[in-house]
Structure 1
Amino acid sequence: MEQQNDLQEKTVTTKQIFSGKVIQVQIDEVLLPNGKTSTREIVRHPGAVAVLPLTADGKMIVVRQFRKPLERTIVEIPAGKLEKGEDPLVCAHRELEEETGYQADSMEHLSSFYTSPGFADEILHLYIATGLRPGPARPDEDEFVETMAITLAEAKNLHQQGEIRDAKTVLALFAWENRVLQQRD
């Protein structure tokens, strides 16, 4: 699909508000297609990966983790931030092993998507990992996770109960369910 020039917003000024370890925040003044100006609050993020790890016996490896912005613990697939210049596939293998201890013989790219394009430029690369071999988890020093292996039915139940709520894990859950349905046909 060709990009429509009449919908573009031209940046007039950019003011950096915050620069942290993970994100940067800026406010842009933009010229709208109708000639008026407006402001945009933008979060800059280096990108991330997420992994849908599937065991040979039909389970998904997930982690239970406390998320401070939510003030609660949720169940998620393993994921993490890309280091500067890091290949997403390399990051996917690293994050899977760090968070769960598992190594994968096969890592298949499923999709790449923007997490919140209304205010952030974060792109997330989702992979399916198979041929899993267990090992010791090595989470980051400030990361505390509990690893679980769950069935598709258990995952759907956790989603219905609100324990699986983040977009990457919900998307992975639907992709897994779709994969199971395709294998039955």
Structure 2
Amino acid sequence: MSDNPDRHLLETCVASEILCEGSFLKGRRDTVRMPDGSTSAREYIIHPGAVVIIPLLDEAHVLLERQFRYPVGQVMTEFPAGKLEAGEDPLRCAQRELLEETGHTAEQWAHAGALHLAIAYSTEIIHIFFARGLQAGQRHLDADEFLDVCTLSDADFSAACRQGGVTDAKTLSCALWLQNVRSGAWALDWRPA
């Protein structure tokens, strides 16, 4: 049996309690045994997981959304995204969310990677997808969803990130992916829809 080189960093759950349970998120408090044998508390949110899509309109433009986000009380510019339904495949979720929110379908998809959004207090993982060969169609917004779809050049998107017009963490992380994919530094494995 091989020894884990990170063993001196690991925490082990010894007790767990539910703090709250909503229809979307759950709050937990765990008592954990620390590497030195002492105990401590960890409070965190259980999240079902999500996807974010970087829709490439052409060689120099991307599709984004503007939407009011209640917890921060402002309209945010961000890439299309959405939460996974129970048991849903992340690619299928990405395809569903792109169509529902923007009305677009894509001829090709590429899984870029994963993003752990708030590692100190949430289990949330966001699967990052690129979409290209976009075809416009009819949006299918949820009853409680109100958003605008907009197009930005890569240069304008980069400027918005730099100047504080984009502050959403997942979208800022996707800016790194976009920059490196566009420059050819990072390759993607494109697949048909």
Give the TM-score normalised by the residue count of structure 1: 0.93
Quick one: which amino acid aligns to residue 172 of structure 2? V
- Of 91, 105, 112, the residue aligned with 1:110 is 112
Counterpart of 2:189 in structure 1 is none
Cα deviation for residue 39 of structure 1 reads: 0.4
Separation in 1, partners of 2:81, 2:5: 31
Aligned-residue CA RMSD (Å): 1.4
Structure 2 residue matching 1:127: 3-state secondary structure: strand
Counterpart of 1:48 in structure 2 is 50
Counterpart of 1:15 in structure 2 is 17
Counterpart of 1:98 in structure 2 is 100
Aligned residues: 182
Separation in 2, partners of 1:107, 1:152: 19
Structure 2 spans left out of the alignment, 5+ residues: 186-193
Cα deviation for residue 57 of structure 1 reads: 5.3
Cα deviation for residue 58 of structure 1 reads: 2.6
Structure 1 spans left out of the alignment, 5+ residues: none
- 1:127 maps onto 2:126 in alignment: no
Quick one: which amino acid aligns to residue 132 of structure 1? L
- Of 168, 177, 181, the residue aligned with 1:175 is 177
Deviates more, 1:118-127 or 1:49-58: 49-58
Structure 1 residue matching 2:40: 3-state secondary structure: strand
Separation in 1, partners of 2:115, 2:79: 16
Separation in 2, partners of 1:165, 1:12: 37
- Within 5 Å, which residues of 2 pair with 1:55-70? 55-56=57-58, 58-70=60-72
- Within 5 Å, which residues of 2 pair with 1:127-166? 127-166=129-168
Structure 2 residue matching 1:91: 3-state secondary structure: helix
- Of 72, 83, 86, the residue aligned with 1:84 is 86
Quick one: which amino acid aligns to residue 74 of structure 1? M
Structure 2 residue matching 1:164: 3-state secondary structure: coil
Counterpart of 2:190 in structure 1 is none
Cα deviation for residue 158 of structure 1 reads: 1.6
